[in-house]
Amino acid sequence: MSESDIQIEAVKWAKRQRKRHPELRWLHHIPNGGKRGIRTAVKLKLEGVEAGVHDLFLPVARWNKHGLYIEVKFGKNKLTKLQKEFKAFVITQGYATATCYTADEIISTLKKYLGI
């Protein structure tokens, strides 16, 4: 199991829920991490990839928040310094955030945020 596997499982769940909860259609991944070749890394950086930005974003307003950012972690991994800075910043801008270690935790976070 990896962060990617956890995220894939949660996104598959979200896709299956779209008929009942159409707002889940807009849940998306932000490709800001991972191992890449130097060419791909340079291209993505030029395109605007920023270290620290969380993995998933749901641009749906709820509970006086503009949207929900989710950082996916696995095992004993913790937020990096840049991820903590990003989290602190987006909270000041009116966004909700969560750090999740399992697909079930991501799903639970999405359900709670959407009130479903």
| Model confidence pLDDT, tens digit, residues 5-52 | 999 999 999 999 999 999 999 999 998 766 678 888 788 788 888 889
The secondary structure of the chain as a DSSP string is --HHHHHHHHHHHHHHTTTT-GGGGG-EE----S---HHHHHHHHHHT--TT--SEEE---BTTBS-EEEEE--TT----HHHHHHHHHHHHTT-EEEEESSHHHHHHHHHHHHT-
Q: Which domains does the chain have, with CATH numbers?
A: 3-114 (3.40.1350.10)
Q: Which pTM does this prediction carry?
A: 0.91
Give per-residue pLDDT as tens, 51-72.
899 999 999 999 999 999 999 9
- The confidence band for 102, taking pLDDT boundaries of 50, 70 and 90, is very high
**pLDDT confidence of residue 38:** 85
